[in-house]
Every structure is written in structure tokens, then in C-alpha cells.
Amino acid sequence: MSTPDETGLHEFLGDLFLHEVGMGVGTPPPVSDESFLRAANELELLDSGAIDGVLANCGGADSQGRAWQVVEAEGLLDVGEVLRIFHHLGDLESLGGRCVGRYLLVEAIGEGSWGRVYRAIHQDLLKHVALKVLSETPATTRARIERFHREASTAARLGHEHIVGVHDVGVDGHIHYIAMDLIEGQNLDIWAENRSLDERLKVLAKVARAVGHAHQNGVLHRDLKPANILVRPDGEPVLVDFGLARALDDERMTADGALLGTPRYMAPEQERGEIDSVDARADVYALGVILEELLGDAASGTDVTQHVKALIKVIARCKESEACWRYENGDALAEDIERALAGESVATGRPGAMAKLAYRARRRPLVSALLVAALLGLMVAGRGLSVMWEGNRRLQLASEVQSAYHQLQAGLKPLVLRAETLRYDQTQPEQRESLLADVDALLSDFPDQSGVSEAYRCWIGWLSGEDDASDRLAAACISYPHNPFPHLVKAWIHLRRYAELADWPGTTGGISIQRVRTPVPLLRPRSIEAMEGQLSAAGEALGQARTSQIWNQVSALDWVAEMCAGFEAYIRQDYPTAIEKLEGLDAHADLTMEANLVLALAYCQNDDKPGAFAALNQLLDVLPQHVVVRRALSAWHRERAQSLMHEGQDAREDLLVAMELLRGLSADPEHDPGLAMIELHLYFAEVKLDLDASATLERAWQATERALEKHGDDYRLLANRAQMRPARGKDPNPLAAALEDLLEAQSLQQGDYTLELMEMGVRLMQAKALTRSGDSAQEAFGDLRQRLDAALEHWGPDGQLYYYRASLAILQISALGSRGEATVPHYESALADLRAAIAGDRDFQEATFLLLWLGFFLPPELALDSAEVLALEEGLRGATPEGRLSGAWEQFLVTGFSGLARSQESGPVAASYAKTAVRALEHLVLQSPQDPERRLKAGRGHLEVARHDLLGVRGHVESALEMFALASQQDPEIGSAWRGLALCHSLLAEMGGGASHPLEASERLGRECVQRAREAGDRSTVLDLLAARAGIRAGAFPDEVPQLDGPDDPLRSALGLMRAAAAWNLLQEDLPRDQTQRALGMVLWLHDMDGVDLECARLLVLGYHRLERGAEALAACAKLPSEDPLVLATQVHWGTPEAAEVAREALGQALEAGGGPFFRAVLGIQEPNPIPSSPEQEPKPQKKS
């Protein structure tokens, strides 16, 4: 039988493969009208005649979901009676997740920008509300939760008749909610279909006034559109969905506000991501678009009225491309709309062409300055060329080489750059011919006899694709044996070919699976053998260059020696030396291409991403249009973006730079596959940041579809489209369509690991959908298991495939439900696979978490030992900043470790489990410090630890006291917070007071908190127990002891804590006799009230021993097993000589095992340090009373 914890796990599985944006509470299960009315009859709220009438109005017995509305509308029942019926149905059939906080969910009514919206009923106020909810999942970031709560605070402080009102905000478990006015109305565009133009304009004027009110209060909506404007039946509009709203002076807009909104209604500066420019006038732009839509056909034709012409001017001003020419705010726009309605003229104040030009000139003074500087630079460079060409030539060969180099390098540089361009675009041979003619003309005017000019000519000829360039270079090497330059050019050619063969990181990417565990090298060569051949040939050419007689005689070419040394180090795979030699050559601008390319490659091989970036950026400065440079740098930006996304940081800037670099290379940007892939990566980046990525997803989809029009056989595009289908949700069966894309991709690219992995992920999602269908799912499970087995056999040990197979086994367990032994093999399979996945990658967080969670409900024969469970939790936290996990994961750990603690007898293991649950609870408190419910749960968690850790009871109770006190301050109306405080003060009073409250204060505060709890409406029997506690501590035990009858969990927990406090007293070695007597009396009273158990019997033995009442201590031992260490220790102290001797012989083994705190207290052995009261505290030595 699946437990509630299991159900939570299977819901969690949905987030393992794709981000499922939404909330975990789910749509309430439908209640048929017949069921609803039958329940009303059973509760004697409606008679048979009334039910027949309601059914007729609903459409018959098979109708669903309208009966409760009909009975309310007709006045047959009020809200409270409807609520009572829903509760009655819940008692009979289980509410199935219908309640969130104090709200009963009735039906889903829409999707907001950051959550799902439900019609709900407040169970205390008996009022219908709209409840917006957001559920924490492993993909939910802190920023998204803060944004959700910020929506509530933003709308609540506005207080305007045309802005939705907010009444409540809170958290229930991992579900965050906002209670708002329930607006019964239509979206503006739907409402406007059958309305006159004047009616539409009056409504929009009111909306603009509401927006203006928000602007006056410093709030920018940022997502104005017809879907966020509801019109009630009385014709009054209400502005809703402040999920993207921001304070106008909020600096955090720079972090998460750049690309939010709906594209059609986004102002140009908002769409461009110019964050600093987005202000109230961006909302004005959106209102202008809405006004244009409302105006519709009235703006066209020949008989346009005067007030329509005025409105056209208003729209034009709203939609100005420069924000400074729009209306300042919503109020200013509303005034002109109202003037147009009244037939008055509007003063739009639109700028003329010269005004716009002057404005843009003022905005961009740097552009003009840069243009002037560039022109001056060209003039200076031209004069420098003429000076260099006039250099003196020397007669000696070394001097000729040096002189030729100096005189040719600057003159040939622009021609080399032209050749670089032609290297990757040889579709126009006339350009090559023109280039070579210019080179020959320049060299003909330079009578060089050294061979430098010929080497340059061969280099340019090879770059531009000249057919006989290689033969000409070979001849130059023979003709000029004493000149190293021809051999250097030969080496450069081989190094260039090497770089061109390299697959730079990300150049063939586009398929993004976050949990692929197979390591991917930074540099992925397409052909290892071909690349090695180029390196070998380059090394040979460099060796020939070194034989030149003038190598060391040309002082100006010292850098060439360093460059060659760097090349040779790279060839022999000495990458650190290659980096050392090459990174100092950036000052030589004439031949930096090869030097920096090889330097970047060396950084790649040395796993140094920043170094590779620096080398490539230097090249981009020199060769801004170079294909290899832009391709490599674009790839590196994408690679860095992937790393940033993995770390949860903003990767959009890198992706936009990569897109710009790639766009400059593309001959057809509209259909470019690489650009489409980067669009998809932008979507992933926004999802990672928890932004509204729907607009980016749609852009990525459209770009992919356009690219597929011309590149239908590109498997990467098909795979990326497969990833987008489930997120878009526009296919009738998104998973089936995604699988079809992946299968087609695999037919084009057979044997691809990532494609096969993606296929398994989609099939696993399909299997999840079948989990509830029983036997019909087993065939699909078996087929997928065979596929995963075959993939593992083909690819070898792979963490991701192990992880998928373990997830499948868990789905099979869920589908089998209560079939007992049939689930055991699946548990075993999941355990083995998860351990294998973790063994291959210790940082595989998802696999570690899944193994830990699985351990919470394994059958007894497969249960993990406590050391492994606790080590898994430590490993999870050790791999995250400050040991904090996502809210959903923390919630799962609370549930799991609390259950483990309850399943154990009191002792170190149970205490460790309870302590770990408290650690998760405290992290949840840190995530939502304003949520009193989380503090209450943390306080209860500390008390749970106190029940198991007898030596540290007082410290744990004080930690609980702090949590309850803060919760009561945050919401004084929570009775359970005052009850928790009363219990803590009472326990501290039993133990002589706490660190911050002496005994008298604890007694007084305990009584006051009992009274406050009752005033807050708490009727728990615990309060009755605590009210009598003062007399009990004074020794006034009642004559009649009440019997605990039935499962009263809070009362039993309180009794257990009282027993723990008594145990803490009895374990103190120097406790005065009267306090020992009082503690023993408390144990006897608890013994009579709650019955006999082993823990109570041990306390009695210890109490009698402390009071030196040996006979009674021996009598109490009768309740314990004869081999119990405490019995043996008591026999040694108080038994007959014969019994003491027998017990003494058996004590050795008990001492080795530890024996427990009571046993050690009887023997007078010092206790080890207790478990700390808080996960953040270090253990401290135990002090004696």
C-alpha cells in the first residue's frame, strides 16, 4: 500500500526529467452534482423536491460542478452550508488535497503569471475568494517564492476600486497562497466584442486611472494585457495579476526583470532588455496597444469621426519608440481618453523629426566622438605606412630579413585580413583575384631578395584559396633555405588546419540535458588522426625553420623563437609550457592569429576556461569578422552559459553575445540552426532564473520551425523541438509528439548517446502517466526496462541511465500498490541502480536524494542502516552552499526523518533522526522567516528531539521555546503557539528553570501562556494537564488519576516530554533529595495515567535507586527483561550477595555496549556529551547540577 510519503515521492518524480511549471496541489477532484445533492439530502439541508429542481437547472444527473453554484444563487443554501457539504463529502471519499490553509478549493478558474488560481471558500469567514497558489518543487527557486509574496504585498498596498483586493497570504506546507477578491467577470477583449466604442473607452479610462494610481504609489505593473483586466457584470473593470509588478525604485529589477512580460504589449526598451529605461511609460505603451485593439475597425475607412482621429493620436503617443515622448503615467493617458470621449481636442505633444534627431544625438554623444577618433586614427595609420615603407634596407641577409619584415607587416596587414575573410567564403572567385592582384602590385613595388615577401605571398594565397599556393610555398622553402619565414608559414598552415578540425565546445550543441553524467571534454576533435597529422607536420616545419643560419641574428624576431617554442610545447602536449611561451606574444599584432588560436587550444587542453576566453577575445579585437574566432568565441560563451546555468546564475548575457557573434557569420540568420539553438538555451536560462519564459519559449519554437524549413535533416533541431513540446503544451499529446521527433532525430544521427538518453527520459515521463492504471501499465514498464537494459549494455556504466532505471522501478512500485512481495524486486533494483549512479559520480545530487528518500519507506528486509541514511543527508548538504536545499527537498526530509524518528525507540538513533528533521525545519524557517506555521513546526521538531535525547532535554526545550515565542509574536491569534510556550515553560520549571528564565519566571509564564492559549480558542486537553502541573510539582498529586483513553497524539506527546523532564532530573548526580522525591512522584503519576512501559519502569528503578530504596528498585526491575543492563546494575547494588555476584559477571558485556544512560547512572559512570540541541551547535561538556 502506498503511504502518503510514497505519493509525495511519485509526484516529485515529475520534476526529474522536465521542468513542470505549475503547482503540486493539483486540480480538485470533480464532484458530480448528483453526489453533491445526495450529500445535501443526507445532511437534511435539501429535500427531494428541491433536489429535482436543482438538477433540472444544472442539466441532469450526469452534470458536474454546477449544483453548488445553483443552490447558492437561488438562495436555497448559504456559503456555510455549501462548505459543510464539501466537508461531508471529504469525510466519506477523502478531500483529495482540496484544502490549502483555511481555504477549501472548489475549482480551478485560471492560470496567473506565477501560479494557478482557484475558486475557494474561507472556512472561517464563509466567503468565496480567488486563491492563487504556488507549490515548491525541486525546480522552485527562492527568487520565485519572494516574487510570489511580493505580488500580494504590492496589490494589498494599492487599495483601489479597480485593482483586485488582497485579503490573506500564507504558506501551507510547501504550498504558498494568496487570497484575493473573487471577480466574476470576463477578460476585457471578450467583454468588448459586443460593446460600443464609448463603452470600451470608458472602461479603459478607468483602467488607466487604476494604473496611474499604481504609478503614484511607486508600482509598475509590467504585464498589462486584456487577460489581466476583468470586467464585472456591472461593467466595472478590475486590474489583476501583479505577478510581474515591481517598485519603480527597486534595484532588483536588474536581476530578474529584464525580459518579463507579454511580447505584444512590451515597450521597445522592455523588449530590448534596457532595464534602467523601464518605468511607468512602459505600462503606458501597453495601454496604447490595448487601446488600439479596442478601437479596431473604427480607425479605418473613409468616415472616421473626429474623436476617433483624436484617439489615433493618443495611440501614436502611447506607442512612441522613445519613452520620453509618451504620456508620463496612466493618469495622463486617462485624461486624454476622457477628452476624446467628451469630443474635446487632445494635446498629444508628439515630437518632430528634427526634435527626435537632436534627442538621439544628445543620447549618443560617444558615437560621434568615436567616429571622429576613428577617422583621425586612419589618417595617422596611413602616414605610418608610408614611413615604414621608407625604411632602410641592409645588405646582409639577416638585415634584409629584418628590414623586409618591418616594412611588409603593416602594409600587408589589411590584405591578410581580406584573405582571412575569403578563407571561409570562397563563393566569389573574383574577390580572390582582386585581392591577389592587389598583393602582387604591392610586392612588385618592394624589391625584396630575402624571401619574406614571397612567404607572405604564399600565406595570403593559401588563406584566399589559391590553387597553387602550397606548391609555391614548397618552392619558396627551397629557394630561400636560410630564411626561416617560408618554413614558419608552412607551420602556420598546419596549425590553422588543426584549429579548423577542432570542435570547439558547444559548436555542435543545442541538446541540453542537465543531468547527463558522462564527462564532456572541453575540446572535442572531429578526427583525432587528422589533427595529430597536422601537429606532426607543423612540428617538422618548425624544425626546418630552426636550421636557418640567421635564426638568432634577427633581433626583431625574438618573439618568433618564443612562438615556435610554444608551438612545439603544444605539439608534445606540454600545455603549461605552451601557455607560458604564447601568452606574452599579444603585442605582435601581425601574426597573432595562429599564436592566439594555439594559446586558446592550450588553455582548453589545460581545462582553463577564463584563459581560453582571454585569448579568443584578443583575436576578436584584431579580427572582428574572422570566422574561426567568432565561431570559437561563440562556442565558448555558450559553454560558459551552461556552467552559469548549472550554478543557478544568470547566463543570458553570455548567450546573447554568442548569438550576436554567430549572427555575424550567418548567411541566412532567419533559418540558421545555431541561432535557433541559442534561442532555446535562452529559454533554459530564464527557466533556471524562475522567470516567465513563455515568450522566449515561443521565439525558440518559431526559430526552430523556420530552421527546419531549410534544414529538415538536422537532428539537433528535431531534438530541441522535442524538448520544447511538453513545455509548450500545445500538442494534443506532447510526449508522443516529442518521442516522434526524437526517433526521427535518431534515424538521422544513429548511435548518439544524448538522443538515446532524451528518448529514455520522454518514455519515462509516459510511464509516469500510466502509474495509476495497474496491469495496463506493466507492459509499458517492461518495454522501457528492456530499453534501459540495452542502453546500459551498449554505453556501459552510466549514472544517468542507472538513475532513469531506478526511477522506473519506483514507478513500478507505485503501480503495484499493495501487492506486497511483488514490490521487493523493484525496491532491490532501485537501490542497486541508485548506488551505482552515485558510485560513478559523488556529485549526482538527484540520485543521492532519490536514494535517501527511497530509504524512508523501504520494506524492513531492505532498510538502510542509520549510518548510511545520515551519511546521505550529510552528503546532500555538503554539496550545497551553507548546506541548504530547495524548499521541496527540505520538506521531504522533514517528513522522512520525522517518520524514522517515530519508528525508533528513544535513544541515540532516534535522536539523530529527529535532529536531522529539525535541521530541515530550520532551513525552511530561513526560507520563509515570516511564516509562523513553519516556526511552529520547528518548535515541535525540537520537542521531538527532547523526547529522545534525555541528557539534552533542557537545551532542546529552550530551542523550542524560542521558535514558539517568535511564532506567537508573528500571529498572536495562533492558540497552538501559546500552548507550545506553556508546555516549554512548564517543562523548564520542572527542571529548575532555563537559561533565560529562572524557576519562578517559568512557573508564572507557564500559567500566563495557558490562559493566552485558551483566549485564542485552543481547547486541547494538554492545557488541562498543564493547568494542574503547578500543584503536581508541589507534591499535591490528585487522589484519582485520569486514564488516557484513545489516540490523543498531542496529549501523549506532552506526557512523553514530562517523562523526559523527570528523567533529566533523575539523571543529575547531585539532585537534592526533595527534588528527587518530586521527580519520582511525577513518574509514578505518569505511570498510573499512561500505563506501564519499559521507559517508565527504568525511571522508577533509577528514582528508587537515587533515594536508596533498594527493595523498591528491585521490585521495579520485575517490569524489565532479566538481561537488561539496568537490572544487572541494580542487582549489583541492592541484590543478595549471590545475585550481585551473578550480575557482576554479566556486566562486562553490557559495559562494552554502553548500556544506556540509566544503567550508567546507577553504576556512577560519567555520561558522554549529549546530542546538541540545535544542528548548528557543537556538543558541549555536560555540567552537573
Q: Is residue 627 part of a domain?
A: no
Question: Do residues 704 and 675 lie in contact, with contact meaning Cβ atoms separated by under 8 Å?
Answer: no
Q: How confident is the model at residue 513 (pLDDT cuts 50, 70, 90)?
A: very low
pLDDT tens figures, 214-255: 888 888 888 899 989 999 989 999 998 775 555 545 544 434
Range of 468's domain?
365-483
Mean predicted confidence (pLDDT) in 122-127: 80
Residue where a domain terminates, one of 312, 337, 357: 357
Least reliable range by pLDDT among 290-294, 564-568, 584-588, 1118-1122: 584-588
Please check whether residues 58 and 104 belong to one and the same domain.
yes
Answer yes or no: is pLDDT of 477 > 50. Answer: yes
Answer yes or no: is pLDDT of 472 > 80. Answer: yes
For residue 255, CA distances in Å to 273, 657, 689, 1163 come to 11, 18, 9, 63
Question: Do residues 969 and 975 lie in contact, with contact meaning Cβ atoms separated by under 8 Å?
Answer: no
User: Residue 1041 carries which DSSP code?
Assistant: P
Helix (H) or strand (E) holding 873: helix 866-878
For residue 847, CA distances in Å to 726, 807, 841, 872, 885 come to 23, 9, 9, 10, 14
Dihedrals phi, psi of 370, to nearest 5 degrees: -65, -40
Q: Is residue 769 part of a domain?
A: no
Please check whether residues 18 and 157 belong to one and the same domain.
yes
Quote the pLDDT of residue 357: 44
Please check whether residues 44 and 98 belong to one and the same domain.
yes
More confident call, 1059 vs 289? 289
Quickly tell me which residue has 526523518 as its cell.
Answer: 897
Answer yes or no: is pLDDT of 1114 > 70. Answer: yes
Question: Do residues 724 and 700 lie in contact, with contact meaning Cβ atoms separated by under 8 Å?
Answer: yes
Rounded Cα distance between 1091 and 369, Å, is: 92
Quote the pLDDT of residue 95: 38
Dihedrals phi, psi of 231, to nearest 5 degrees: -110, 120
Residue where a domain terminates, one of 428, 456, 483: 483
Q: Is residue 269 part of a domain?
A: yes
Q: Is residue 928 part of a domain?
A: no
Please check whether residues 350 and 379 belong to one and the same domain.
no
Please check whether residues 339 and 400 belong to one and the same domain.
no
Least reliable range by pLDDT among 306-315, 341-350, 368-377, 533-542: 368-377
Q: How confident is the model at residue 63 (pLDDT cuts 50, 70, 90)?
A: low
Rounded Cα distance between 785 and 766, Å, is: 13
Residue 144 is part of a domain; what is its CATH number? 3.30.200.20
Beta strand 186-187 with 229-231 is antiparallel
Least reliable range by pLDDT among 52-61, 436-445, 1019-1028: 52-61
Residue 276 is part of a domain; what is its CATH number? 1.10.510.10
Q: What's the distance, Cα to Cα, between the start and end of the chain in Å?
A: 50
Answer yes or no: is pLDDT of 979 > 60. Answer: yes
* Summary mean pLDDT of the chain: 76
Rounded Cα distance between 179 and 662, Å, is: 47
Helix (H) or strand (E) holding 171: strand 166-172
What is the CA angle 75-77-79, rounded to 5? Answer: 105
Counting the structural domains of the chain, the total is 3
C-alpha cell at 594: 595562429
Q: Taking the CB of residue 232, how many other CB atoms lie within 10 A of it?
A: 13
More confident call, 863 vs 997? 863
Please check whether residues 226 and 91 belong to one and the same domain.
no
Please check whether residues 165 and 229 belong to one and the same domain.
no
Q: Is residue 457 part of a domain?
A: yes
User: Residue 772 carries which DSSP code?
Assistant: G
Quote the pLDDT of residue 1149: 65
Residue where a domain terminates, one of 133, 150, 180: 180
pLDDT tens figures, 361-420: 444 444 444 444 443 444 344 443 333 333 333 335 666 776 777 777 777 878 887 887
Q: How confident is the model at residue 37 (pLDDT cuts 50, 70, 90)?
A: confident
Quote the pLDDT of residue 371: 40
C-alpha cell at 859: 520494506
Q: Which residues contact 472 (CB under 8 A, 6 or more apart)?
A: 454, 457, 458, 461, 466
Q: Is residue 196 part of a domain?
A: yes
- Residue by residue, DSSP assigns 818-865 as T-GGGGHHHHHHHHHHHHHHHHH-TT-HHHHHHHHHHHTT--GGGPPP
Beta strand 229-231 with 99-100 is unpaired
Mean predicted confidence (pLDDT) in 1061-1084: 79
Answer yes or no: is pLDDT of 712 > 80. Answer: yes
Rounded Cα distance between 712 and 1168, Å, is: 71
pLDDT tens figures, 825-842: 889 999 999 999 888 877
Mean predicted confidence (pLDDT) in 976-997: 86
Beta strand 103-112 with 115-122 is antiparallel
C-alpha cell at 498: 588543426
Please check whether residues 13 and 130 belong to one and the same domain.
yes
Please check whether residues 126 and 197 belong to one and the same domain.
no
Rounded Cα distance between 983 and 217, Å, is: 45
Query: Above pLDDT 70, what percent of the chain?
Result: 75
Quote the pLDDT of residue 834: 93
Question: Do residues 979 and 958 lie in contact, with contact meaning Cβ atoms separated by under 8 Å?
Answer: no
pTM: 0.56
More confident call, 662 vs 941? 941
pLDDT tens figures, 630-666: 777 787 788 788 777 766 678 899 899 888 888 877 7
Answer yes or no: is pLDDT of 923 > 80. Answer: yes
Rounded Cα distance between 323 and 109, Å, is: 36
More confident call, 1157 vs 841? 841
Query: Above pLDDT 90, what percent of the chain?
Result: 13
Q: How confident is the model at residue 523 (pLDDT cuts 50, 70, 90)?
A: very low
Least reliable range by pLDDT among 187-196, 497-506, 1104-1113: 497-506
Please check whether residues 197 and 155 belong to one and the same domain.
no
Question: Do residues 511 and 746 lie in contact, with contact meaning Cβ atoms separated by under 8 Å?
Answer: no
Quote the pLDDT of residue 721: 93
Answer yes or no: is pLDDT of 340 > 80. Answer: yes
Quote the pLDDT of residue 61: 52
Rounded Cα distance between 616 and 48, Å, is: 82
Please check whether residues 429 and 333 belong to one and the same domain.
no
Rounded Cα distance between 679 and 683, Å, is: 7
Q: Is residue 935 part of a domain?
A: no
pLDDT tens figures, 549-562: 666 565 555 666 67
More confident call, 75 vs 143? 75
Quote the pLDDT of residue 526: 45
Helix (H) or strand (E) holding 120: strand 115-122
**Nearest Cα residue to 24 out of 876, 738, 887:** 887
Q: Taking the CB of residue 472, how many other CB atoms lie within 10 A of it?
A: 16
Please check whether residues 447 and 325 belong to one and the same domain.
no
More confident call, 943 vs 374? 943
Answer yes or no: is pLDDT of 805 > 90. Answer: yes
Quote the pLDDT of residue 705: 94
User: Residue 239 carries which DSSP code?
Assistant: E
Quote the pLDDT of residue 889: 83
Mean predicted confidence (pLDDT) in 111-117: 63
Least reliable range by pLDDT among 5-14, 158-167, 348-357, 1032-1041: 5-14
| HEC per residue, 1060-1107 | HHHHHHHCCCCCCHHHHHHHHHHHHHHHHHHCCCHHHHHHHHHHHHHC
Q: Is residue 591 part of a domain?
A: no
Beta strand 127-135 with 175-180 is antiparallel
C-alpha cell at 125: 469567514
Mean predicted confidence (pLDDT) in 773-792: 80
Quote the pLDDT of residue 899: 86
Least reliable range by pLDDT among 88-92, 366-370, 958-962: 366-370
